[in-house]
Structure formats: structure tokens, C-alpha cells
A and B are shown apart, each in its own frame.
Chain A
Amino acid sequence: MASTIYRLITIVSLLSLLHCAYSAAQHRFYLRLTEQPFVNLPADVVAQTVISLIALIYGTSFLANPFLYIKQDQHPERTCDEALNCPSFITFDNRTKAMSPEFSMLRALKQQQRSQENVSRGTHSGRVSEAVAPSETVDSHE
């Protein structure tokens, strides 16, 4: 019901605005015929233009979609996974490590090295101690 009133206002003001343009053109035409200089438009045309413009703005603002709250979330479809994730603090200790064959090999190597260290301190054997420096074994105990 309300929207028909606004629609009526919009259409009437639009027609009135077109009428203003027409009467302005008519005025210029009349001036040219009577060879008078153009100073300004008659007051009634100016008044009609302003009033119908304001009415048009008023009408269309209600015809368009309903007003939205001006402060909106920029990404309303964002999920918790996206918004509450801290990618630059990512740590790599998760269950994929337990399932990965490479890491189980690495763990076995470390364990081997540790047991060797316990048996004879100082005699590191070749590749294992190169791959895992002594300072890192301290880390792995923690």
C-alpha cells in the first residue's frame, strides 16, 4: 500500500521534472522570438524544478531496497576458520607428522642416535649426527 504512494510520488515528480525542462526550453524559444536577452529563468519554473527534484529523491529512496544499517560487516560470509585463524603463527606439530613415513624414519634415527650416545659418548657414527646436530637432540628431549 505504502509503496504505491511512493511510486505515485516518483512518477508525478518525474513528469513534473520533464515538464520543467520543456517550459525552460519554451522560455528560451520565446525570448529568441521577441529578441530579448536571456537573464534568468522565471521563478515559477525554478521553484517547480527544485520541488519536483526533492520529491523525486524522496520517492525513489523509498522505492529502492529497504535501508541498510550504514555500518556493515564487510565480509558477512566469513567463517570462523577464516576470521579466527592466525596464519603467521602457524605451527607444524600435528597428526600428519605421526602418519608420515618420513617422520617416523626421522624419529627412529633420532632414537638410534640417542641410544648410541648413551652407550658410547663421543663416537658419533657418520650421517646421523650430521643430519641431526647435537644441539638439536637437546630440543627433542623437551
Chain B
Amino acid sequence: METDWTQISYDDARQTLKKWRECGVRRSEEVVEIWEHVVSRSPSSLGDELWVVLEQVCIAGLDTARVDLAQDCIDQLHVQFPKSNRVLKLKAMQLEATEHYQKAQEIYERLVEEDPNNNSFRKRKVAILLAQGKRLEAIRAINEYLKIFLNDPEAWLQLSELFLLENDVAKAAHCLEECVLISPLNSMYLRRLGDLRYTQGGAENVELARAYYERAVKINPTDLRSQYGILLSNNLIATTSKNASEKKKAGVAAVEAIDNLVNRYQKISTKKNPESDGILNCLEAMKTTIGSK
């Protein structure tokens, strides 16, 4: 069900903004809607939270090409924190959004010089290259950045994304391995790593993919996509493997994965997912084909 973000209550709006801010999801249009229709009616009742919300709204405004709104936020923040580097960063981001990359670059360079330990300014410098479409230079810049800030999963993730855009799956997988190393209990990284290994293909990689998917399901049993990953990789191993016993084992595991999936789909009602009947039929058909081998 779609929520009408312009109609929610003040408290809900505040909670929603906080949630999005913390999990880092990009829902700029909704943030702008919530700000304009709900929160901006009485900004002062946010208390000290107002300044973070203004920063959030400013970035969302830039993302939705609402430079006027962003300017408004920056002005308010500037009055409150006249010498803040963080506000200056927002100004530079506004310059980026209006395609004044050179000026933004100059500001970021000055900010990095002033505060070399703050990684967000360095990240913005990479973002300028991304915005201009200079992908190879951006890859080089992130590599430089990662030499200093080795344990930044976000940068590794971005780097793997860039390598994927360059069709270099092996390097992208390596970057994701670093992410897994940093937060080994994030099933999303494991699942994606499994996806990449499966994409790479070859017997060894598919087996690796299966291991990653199994790990992801183990630490997050609700992960449906990884369950599909287990099914697909087992199916592939069962059809291509030369070792007979392994072949048999993979076939059994594939059937087991299908059973798990069927269980999951039977539990949800067709109202929630109108496709679930079709998917169930498809899974049953797949089970008979795998079972007959």
C-alpha cells in the first residue's frame, strides 16, 4: 500500500525522517514532501534535531532539483553555524548540483586541507568525478582514498559498483570481499558476493557462490533471494559437475531449496503477493524436472 507522505502526522514524519537518515536510504522526493507538507509547519518544535533535518532536506532538495529549497536550508544553517565546514560542504554540493564543478572542487580541496581527517570531503571529490562521468578517474580517486581510509565499507561498495560498470566482475568481487571482511554479519554483502561469483561462472566460482548464499541464509533466514541463489547454483552444479556423487548431492540440495521456497510462498497470502500462485506452480515444475534427472 502506498503511503501518502503529505498526510502523515507530525510525529510519524519526524520518526520517518530519522529512520531514513540513519539507514541512509535515498528517498529524496518523499523527504521533500514530508518537509514541505508536514514538518515545515512548525520547525521549531524539532528542537536541536532541526539542524540535522535541515541538512537532510537540503541534500534531498538538491537530489530533486529543488535548488530554492536547498538554498533556504543552507541559509538557515548558515545563520546558526556561520563558520561550519559542514555547511560549507552543503554549499559546495549545491554548486555540484548546478554543475559548477570547478568551484565545488576548489571548496572541497580547501576543506580537505583544513581538516585532513574528515573523510566526507574526500568522498565528495570523488563524487564530482562521478557526476562528470569520469569513471576511470573516479576509480583511481577511490583507490587513493582507500589507501588512507581502509575500513570504509561504503567506499569499497562504491568501488565495486564502478568496477561492475566497467564489466570487471573479478575486481568488483574483490571489493565486496573487503566489505564482507569489514562487516561479516551483513547478509546483503554475502548475497551480492554470491551473485557476482555466480555471474563470473565456472565450476569453482559457482561453488563459491553456493557457499556465500548458504552463509547469507544462515545468518539471515528470511533472505529469499539467497534461497533462490542456492537453488540456482545447486541446479547448475547438478547439471555440469563431472563428479557423480557431487552431482547427486547438489540435486538433493536443489530440491531441498525448492521445498524451502515453496514453504515460504505457501505462508503468504495471495492478497499480499498476487504472483505467488504462479511462482508456486513454476517451482513445482522445476522440482519435477530436477527430480527426474
Contact = CB atoms under 8 A, between A and B. Distances in A.
A73 B219 contact: yes
Contact of B24 (A71, A82, A106, A133): A82
Contacts of B101: 136, 139
A90 interface: yes
A72 B220 contact: yes
Contacts of A64: none
A81 B27 CA distance: 9
A69 B192 contact: no
B250 interface: no
A91 B189 CA distance: 23
A96 interface: yes
Interface in B1-25: 23-25
A84 B220 contact: no
Interface string B37-68: 00000000000000000000001001111111
B120 interface: yes
Contacts of A106: 98
B53 to A, nearest CB: 15
B25 A73 contact: no
Contacts of A82: 23-25
Interface in A85-133: 85-94, 96-97, 99-100, 102-103, 106, 132-133
A135 to B, nearest CB: 5
B101 to A, nearest CB: 5
A83 interface: yes
B97 A87 contact: no
Contact of B220 (A73, A97, A142): A73
Nearest to A107: B99
B267 to A, nearest CB: 16
Given A72-B219, A140-B99, A81 B25 contact: yes
A88 B124 CA distance: 7
A84 B97 contact: no
Nearest to A76: B220
Interface of B: 23-26, 29, 59, 62-68, 93, 96-103, 120, 123-124, 126-127, 130-133, 154-155, 157-158, 161, 184-189, 192, 218-223
Interface of A: 69, 71-94, 96-97, 99-100, 102-103, 106, 132-133, 135-136, 138-140, 142
29 contacts: A72-B185, A72-B220, A73-B220, A75-B23, A76-B187, A76-B221, A80-B188, A83-B186, A83-B189, A84-B157, A85-B25, A87-B26, A87-B154, A88-B124, A88-B127, A89-B127, A91-B127, A91-B130, A92-B63, A93-B131, A96-B64, A97-B65, A136-B100, A136-B101, A136-B102, A139-B102, A139-B132, A142-B132, A142-B133
